[in-house]
Amino acid sequence: MTDQDIVVSQRVRELHARMTVDEKLAQLVGYWVDQGNEVVAPMSGEKVATARYETVTAHGLGHLSRVYGTRPVEPIERARWLWLEQARLREQSRLGIPAIVHEECLTGLAAWKAATFPTPLAWGAAFDPELVREMGELIGDSMRALGIHQGLAPVLDVVRDARWGRVDECIAEDPYVVGTIGTAYVQGLQKAGVHATLKHFVGYSASQAGRNHAPVHAGQREINDVLLPPFEMAIRDGGARSVMNSYAEIDGEPVGGTPRYLTDILRTRWGFDGVVVSDYFAVEFLHSMHDVAVDPGAAADLALRAGIDVELPNGDAFAAPLAARVASGETDIALIDRAVLRVLAQKEELGLLDETFDTPPTAIDLDSPEHRAVAHRLAAESVVLLTNDGVLPLAGTTRSIAVIGPNADSSEALMGCYSFANHVLAFHPEVPLGFEIPTILDALRAELPGAEIVHETGCAVEGTDRTGIPAAVAAARSAEVAIVVVGDRAGLFGRGTVGEGNDVESLELPGVQRELIEAVAATGTPVVVIVVTGRPYVLDWALSGPVGAVLQTFFPGEEGSAALAAIVSGREAPSGRLPVSMPRSAGAQPYSYLHPRLGGPSDITSVDSTPVFPFGHGLTYTSFSREALVVDGPVAAGSAFTARVRVLNTGDRAGTDVVQLYARDVVASVTRPLAQLVAYQRVELEPGEEVTVQFTVPAAALAFTGTDGERIVEAGDIELWVGPSCATKEATAALVLTGTTHVLTAADGRIGAAQIERVVASV
């Protein structure tokens, strides 16, 4: 593709025609202002920018990197600085082109005093795209008000191995859930006028042994059928305007250095016409980590040819090294022209070419009641009740409660790796969080004012110190019920138990937390375990016997404690479902419920990989029946089918079911998963209430990569079922796809629509 093939406005063409080489290169780099020694990006401590800001911006600038998210700065004061800097770029650079300001926004805007929402794995547990879309718009509104134009989210990596440290940044192990919820976030953010950046394209989560930055050995079928679909949905259905490359090397080819993914698939196959930005330092990594480029200049050339348009966060390769290659004739200026046109088109689309920057904001509420209301709803919907012998909800007569565990009285334990608190404020312990985030202990005391609550830590999240366990046991023995709050502490690169660079070999709870739970349970006091983590852990030992109930929550954010307390008391009911399988052991990894017959247990192996709880599992405080699944058919392989199922609340209190429609291709030309989610819908029902849920599902939901490498839908028999998880076939039906094999095109849809008819039924 040449620069003449890129569709841009006449204004952009004329602006580009006036540019010198230096001015062009300036548009292709970012500058990380005020970067100190805080390790808030991979190897950033070794790569602090050395060039002076004024020197770098003499010819303009492509991006300003993390203006708000590097240090705790007062947002309004920082906004005034930013408006002045943008005005300076307009007035003092020859062409007067402002910079795009980008920022992290995975659990909310990464800025001091901004709302912190649940981590993406909690989004997946909620199974509620509409609520995620609402959250995305709120985050986008905050960003746009502060002069931020591009958000580095969502993460659309499909979970493949729970040992990987970045699991909490992902949405689910199912590409359809990742795609629908990720697309909703994109739509919300971009409705607010902020460009979403899909990451990490592609394959990052499939790293060898769950290690960060490790090689990926995925075949093309896994890439096409599991790893790519969420990105395709977010681009085709969500209209995402930016993509960030993966650090991964797939079968020996770094994604950032080959056109196979960033050009052939992204642009030629899918028609993406936005901008590709590098993950931080990814261009230079082609030289220093992948060893496929002799120096940073050669790495810049490889990246441009692959399809990367902008180097972030600085110009380590795209600035001086690339300028030298252009001057010597080693790099064709046409490669640079192509990228510059895309960047200028993005700036025009964002309104930057007309922005005057004369009125910075004078006041802003980054954590408004509306932010907190959405944060609470999402946190509550994401709590998964794994098991319950009746101890939950707590009886109103409960008068003494022992609240125990390292995460019971910790606000930081409620937030993910990319929250501002754990990402940045961890380096500034003297700075307050800047927003309210009560601990679970605080929330339980507020929720249950009539109960006497005593607290003992018992042990730390990490380490082997057991000296606090006897006091915890004594507290539990004297209480009517013990609530033990355990789990993770999110951080980066060895600081914490989960998060970027914090990969693990074991999936046992960190430290001696299991010993703490077992010691408390041995007292005979009824025990509720609340697990606050960024990944699923092996918990089979806690799911029976003396432990009465287990609640799993994935870093639920600023309102997470209030949501958990309301669920414990029964004022609210749990409705989350597992977005990842609950592992049997670390040795069973990598694992996905999307496995063919040979990927499960059998008589020809002594190892059972069956998860403790399957994908989609989650209990409520009521019960549901799912009956009479009816499927219209037969239908052509290139068409769509309609499925209807009756769902009835058979319990004595209101509750929410997540209706899950699964499919299995009975016989196919290649091996297919034994279960595959093709549609889902949250349904709230009063006691005795019945609804009919109708799904319209494109047959493209059943597509796979055939033997010739094309994505196809084959004619044949399809088994369908609805159940409480992927593993239980409560209501079943058969579908026949007819006709010839259908080859997928851009016209094939992927998102199934749900319609709900309500009737009142007697139980």
Exposed (0-12), middle (13-18) or buried (19+): which is 73, by Cβ within 10 Å?
middle
Residues 391 and 342 in one domain: no
- High-pLDDT (> 90) share of the chain, %: 90
Output the pLDDT for position 753.
65
Contact between 152 and 199 under an 8 Å Cβ cutoff? The reply is yes
The yes-or-no verdict on residue 39 having pLDDT over 60 is: no
| Tens of pLDDT, residues 116-153 | 999 999 999 999 999 999 999 999 999 999 999 999 99
> Is residue 548 assigned to a domain?
yes
Of 354, 387, 417, the one marking the end of a domain is 354
The yes-or-no verdict on residue 2 having pLDDT over 80 is: no
Residues 550 and 656 in one domain: no
The yes-or-no verdict on residue 391 having pLDDT over 90 is: yes
Side chain identity at 30, as an amino acid letter?
G
| Tens of pLDDT, residues 675-692 | 999 999 999 999 999 999
Residues 573 and 650 in one domain: no
The yes-or-no verdict on residue 750 having pLDDT over 70 is: no
The yes-or-no verdict on residue 290 having pLDDT over 80 is: yes
Residue 490's pLDDT band (boundaries 50, 70, 90)? very high
**φ/ψ (deg, to 5) at 280:** -55, 120
DSSP string, 536-589: ----GGGSSTTEEEEEEEE---TTHHHHHHHHHHTSS------SS-B-S-GGG-
> Is residue 616 assigned to a domain?
no
Residue 50's pLDDT band (boundaries 50, 70, 90)? very low
> Is residue 606 assigned to a domain?
no
Q: How many domains does the chain have?
A: 3
The yes-or-no verdict on residue 41 having pLDDT over 60 is: no
Residues in CB range of 394: below 8 A, 6 or more apart: 401, 448, 481, 568, 569, 570
Output the pLDDT for position 751.
59
Alpha helices in 106-151 (DSSP H): 120-126, 129-145
Domain of residue 687 covers: 624-760
Output the pLDDT for position 545.
74
Residues 325 and 419 in one domain: no
DSSP string, 416-469: -TTSHHHHTGGG-TTS--SS----HHHHHHHH-TTSEEEEE--S-SSS---TTH
> Is residue 90 assigned to a domain?
yes
> Is residue 365 assigned to a domain?
no
The yes-or-no verdict on residue 72 having pLDDT over 70 is: yes
Output the pLDDT for position 677.
97
The yes-or-no verdict on residue 199 having pLDDT over 70 is: yes
Residues 288 and 174 in one domain: yes
Residue 48's pLDDT band (boundaries 50, 70, 90)? very low
Residues 464 and 329 in one domain: no
CA distance readout (Å), 291 to 43, 165, 211, 459, 701:
17, 24, 19, 44, 39
The yes-or-no verdict on residue 42 having pLDDT over 90 is: no
Output the pLDDT for position 763.
46
Other beta carbons within 10 angstroms of residue 444's beta carbon come to: 26
Residues 637 and 578 in one domain: no
The yes-or-no verdict on residue 49 having pLDDT over 50 is: no
Residues 662 and 699 in one domain: yes
Mean pLDDT of the chain: 94
> Is residue 413 assigned to a domain?
yes
> Is residue 369 assigned to a domain?
no
Of 546, 565, 599, the one marking the end of a domain is 599
Residues 347 and 389 in one domain: no
Residues 347 and 469 in one domain: no
pTM of the shown model:
0.96
The yes-or-no verdict on residue 157 having pLDDT over 70 is: yes
Q: What is the CATH number of the domain that holds 41?
A: 3.20.20.300
Residues 95 and 213 in one domain: yes
Residue 757's pLDDT band (boundaries 50, 70, 90)? confident
> Is residue 252 assigned to a domain?
yes
* Beta pairing class for 689-698 and 753-760: antiparallel
Query: Residue 536's closest CA among 470, 484, 584, 603?
Result: 584
Output the pLDDT for position 450.
94
Residue 558 CA to residue 413 CA, distance in Å, equals: 10
Token code pair at residue 367? 């954590």
Q: What is the CATH number of the domain that holds 527?
A: 3.40.50.1700
Question: For 119, how many CA atoms within 13 A lie in the half-sphere containing its CB?
Answer: 31
Mean pLDDT of 648-666: 97
Catalytic residue list: 213, 279
Residues 476 and 398 in one domain: yes
| Tens of pLDDT, residues 296-352 | 999 999 999 999 999 999 999 999 999 999 999 999 999 999 999 999 999 999 999
| Tens of pLDDT, residues 233-252 | 999 999 999 999 999 999 99
Residue 395's pLDDT band (boundaries 50, 70, 90)? confident
Q: What is the CATH number of the domain that holds 641?
A: 2.60.40.10
Residue 754's pLDDT band (boundaries 50, 70, 90)? low
Residue 363 CA to residue 510 CA, distance in Å, equals: 43
| Tens of pLDDT, residues 601-645 | 888 888 888 999 999 999 999 999 999 999 998 999 999 999 999
The yes-or-no verdict on residue 360 having pLDDT over 80 is: yes
Contact between 273 and 7 under an 8 Å Cβ cutoff? The reply is yes
- High-pLDDT (> 70) share of the chain, %: 96
